[in-house]
């Protein structure tokens, strides 16, 4: 199979690219590196079946060419992270809605299967837990920028399903619930990498809000397996499917697990939402998926337990620190040698 992954240099996209290559597929990625990183795919560049282009979806001719070369399009490119969404609502809406429309339009011309990544955020403030795919969506007011991401992704879903119903384009929509693991950045407000970074640095582990809010964390490897099974099943076309774990944990409990697994002495502190994001910021108390549909279609459900998930993130951060330390030591040694040969004194 020849696969195009938009947002392929991102967190989930890079792991998906790995899995596709591991099973022998040809992989093409398109990423503008706005939130993705070259570091996420550097280890894949030597693979003969891996091809990458750093450009925007708005390059219609390039997008059309890459879609034409592919059998299936995994559309993961999106504005992500609560902080980015609050600070840049225009970018959030334009990136998500315009990007998805361009992908669907290009894929429709060649009738290529599209896997479209959506989010549990679309359930909004619903209290009908666990969230089922056919449940009502309960969004906050348009005066709260917090909900612009949810609204834009809901519109993405409407677009995708409309292309299926009206034009017969094979579209699969997956709503991801807190996917975590190695390579995820905390830059845009993702809770687990922020907790791990703080714990390993000895900084206070910072909880936004009361910490009583609960989430279900799914390891990225499990999420990738769900993606591949949905696309391969043939039964998910025209469907919306939850992808995530249903093992619920409060943010307070997550902080304690991270502190324990990292053997950290960090204090746990609380910051009100108004200070962390913006005045009047709204959040949902619980976010738990129903996985019945995923299990019915794929015969699969995520199984990685929370301690193992946290350990994988800790190991990743520690590995990065070792590389940075080694690189720094090497640079200092080179500097010292150069200065010594010049008859001077090195001052790192």
Query: One digit per residue, pLDDT tens: the chain, 348 residues?
Result: 999 999 999 999 999 999 999 999 999 999 999 889 999 999 999 999 999 999 999 999 999 999 999 999 999 998 776 666 667 778 778 888 999 999 999 999 999 999 999 999 999 999 999 999 999 999 999 888 788 889 999 999 999 999 999 999 999 999 999 999 999 988 767 999 999 999 999 999 999 999 999 999 999 999 999 999 999 998 999 999 999 999 999 999 999 999 999 999 999 999 998 887 777 778 889 999 999 999 999 999 999 999 999 999 999 999 976 654 444 344 434 444 544 454 444 433
Strand pairing of 214-216 and 248-250? antiparallel
Give percent helix, percent strand, percent coil of the chain, each to the nearest 5: 45, 15, 35
Query: Tokens 């975590």 correspond to what residue?
Result: 180
Helices (H) and strands (E) in the chain, counts: 12, 13
Calpha distance 233→308 (Å, rounded) = 28
| Burial (Cβ within 10 Å: 0-12, 13-18, ≥19) of residue 252 | middle
Angle at 209 between CA 95 and CA 258, to 5 degrees: 90
Structure tokens at 142: 């348009």
Yes or no: say if 245 and 305 are a contact pair by the CB < 8 Å rule.
no
Domains, the chain, with CATH or none: 78-180+217-245+284-304 (3.40.50.720)
SS3 180: strand
Calpha distance 16→181 (Å, rounded) = 13
Look up 123 and say whether it is catalytic: no
Helix pair angle (191-201, 251-261), 10° resolution: 40
Query: Tokens 């679309």 correspond to what residue?
Result: 122
Catalytic residue among 149, 188, 208, 277: 149
Calpha distance 96→258 (Å, rounded) = 32
For residues 327, 189, 35 and 192, what is the CA-based torsion angle, rounded to 10 degrees? 60
């Amino acid at each position: 199979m020849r696969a195009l992954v938009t947002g392929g240099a991102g967190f989930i996209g890079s792991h998906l690219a790995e899995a596709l290559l591991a099973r022998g597929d040809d992989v093409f990625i398109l990423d503008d590196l706005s939130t993705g990183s070259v570091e996420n795919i550097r280890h894949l560049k030597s693979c003969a079946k891996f091809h990458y282009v750093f450009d925007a979806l708005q390059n219609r001719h390039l997008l059309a060419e890459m879609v034409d070369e592919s059998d299936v399009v995994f559309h993961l490119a999106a504005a992500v992270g609560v902080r980015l969404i609050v600070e840049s609502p225009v970018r959030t809406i334009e990136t998500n809605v315009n990007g998805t429309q361009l992908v669907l339009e290009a894929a429709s011309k060649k009738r290529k299967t599209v896997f479209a990544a959506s989010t549990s955020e679309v359930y909004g403030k619903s209290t009908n837990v666990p969230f089922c795919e056919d449940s009502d969506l309960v969004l906050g007011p348009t005066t709260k920028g917090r909900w612009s991401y949810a609204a834009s992704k809901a519109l993405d879903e409407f677009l995708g399903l409309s292309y299926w119903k009206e034009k017969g384009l094979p579209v699969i929509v997956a709503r991801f619930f807190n996917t975590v693991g190695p390579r995820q950045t905390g830059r845009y407000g993702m809770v687990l990498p922020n907790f791990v970074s703080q714990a390993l640095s000895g900084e206070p582990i910072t909880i936004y809000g009361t910490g009583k809010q609960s989430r279900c964390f799914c390891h990225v490897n499990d999420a990738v397996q769900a993606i591949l099974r949905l696309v391969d099943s043939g039964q998910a076309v025209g469907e919306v499917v939850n992808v995530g774990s249903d093992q619920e944990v409060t943010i307070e409990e997550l902080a304690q697990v991270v502190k324990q697994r990292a053997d950290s002495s960090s204090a746990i502190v609380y910051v009100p939402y108004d200070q962390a994001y913006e005045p009047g910021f709204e959040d949902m108390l619980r976010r738990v998926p129903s996985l019945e549909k995923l299990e019915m279609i794929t015969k699969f459900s995520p199984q990685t337990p929370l301690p193992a998930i946290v350990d994988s993130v800790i190991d990743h951060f520690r590995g990065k620190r070792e590389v940075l330390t080694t690189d720094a030591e090497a640079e200092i040694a080179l500097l010292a040698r150069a200065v010594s040969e010049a008859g001077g004194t090195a001052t790192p």
